[in-house]
Chain A
Amino acid sequence: DAGVIQSPRHEVTEMGQEVTLRCKPISGHNSLFWYRQTMMRGLELLIYFNNNVPIDDSGMPEDRFSAKMPNASFSTLKIQPSEPRDSAVYFCASSQGTGDTDTQYFGPGTRLTVL
């Protein structure tokens, strides 16, 4: 069974460019989460979806960040325009539900470097 799939695994871009990160959750999972991990701030929740609907985007840093989930098997996180402080590892995770005991399965992450 395939786990959560993220692409690309690595992305290097220049300041001001648009960046799109992609995620395919585990089939049958109803919830999808986007996280950002840095040394300074640890693992931060950016946004999560339940049944393709954004439920909580309070962690999205600013208007430069946007996330979509057009269907149950695909989500994107877009940064436009990108800035050096956006450099981080971005993780996508999925779970069957949003219960407090549901297991979140994380993808391998996308390491983003903005020069």
Chain B
Amino acid sequence: TQLLEQSPQFLSIQEGENLTVYCNSSSVFSSLQWYRQEPGEGPVLLVTVVTGGEVKKLKRLTFQFGDARKDSSLHITAAQPGDTGLYLCAGAWTNAGKSTFGDGTTLTVKP
């Protein structure tokens, strides 16, 4: 059983559309991170959220941490082909020393 469930698993949209991907768990995390991975490369950190209800914006990307710190969402406005990739969420606990990753959402943005 995956500790972090991401949905949808696959998403294919046209350039200019908006989208939201979700990361859900029954566990409470002290922090949650979102990574993007492009083909043939390792994941790259996009953002870290640590406070329940926190919202962070990174250009066209908006990240939200749930009030109970069990879930998170990533919203992309006006998606571009350069947004194509695998989006991974990772949850961590204070002093655990490690993170657990979700199974990812594969996003394809068609020009």
A residues with a Cβ closer than 8 A to B are: 4, 31, 33, 42-45, 48, 50, 55-56, 91, 93, 98-101, 103-109
How many residue pairs bridge A and B at CB < 8 Å? Answer: 60
How many residues on chain B are close to A (CB under 8 Å)? 26
What CA separation (Å) do A105 and B45 show in the bound complex?
A: 8
User: Chain B 85-102, CB within 8 Å of chain A: the 1/0 string?
Assistant: 000100011111111111
Instruction: Decide: A56 near B104, CB < 8 A? Known: A43-B43, A100-B92, A108-B41.
Output: no
- Taking a contact as CB atoms under 8 Å apart, the answer to whether A100 and B93 are in contact is yes
Instruction: Decide: A55 near B97, CB < 8 A? Known: A101-B48, A103-B48.
Output: yes
Residues of chain A contacted by B44 (CB below 8 angstroms): 106
23 CB-based A-B contacts, threshold 8 Å: A42-B2, A42-B101, A42-B102, A45-B98, A48-B97, A56-B98, A91-B42, A98-B96, A98-B97, A99-B94, A100-B29, A100-B92, A100-B93, A100-B99, A101-B31, A101-B48, A101-B92, A103-B45, A106-B42, A108-B40, A108-B41, A108-B42, A109-B41
What CA separation (Å) do A42 and B43 show in the bound complex?
A: 12
From DSSP, what is the main secondary structure of chain A's interface residues?
strand
> How far in angstroms is the closest Cβ of chain A from B83?
19
Nearest chain-A residue to B49 (Cβ)? A101
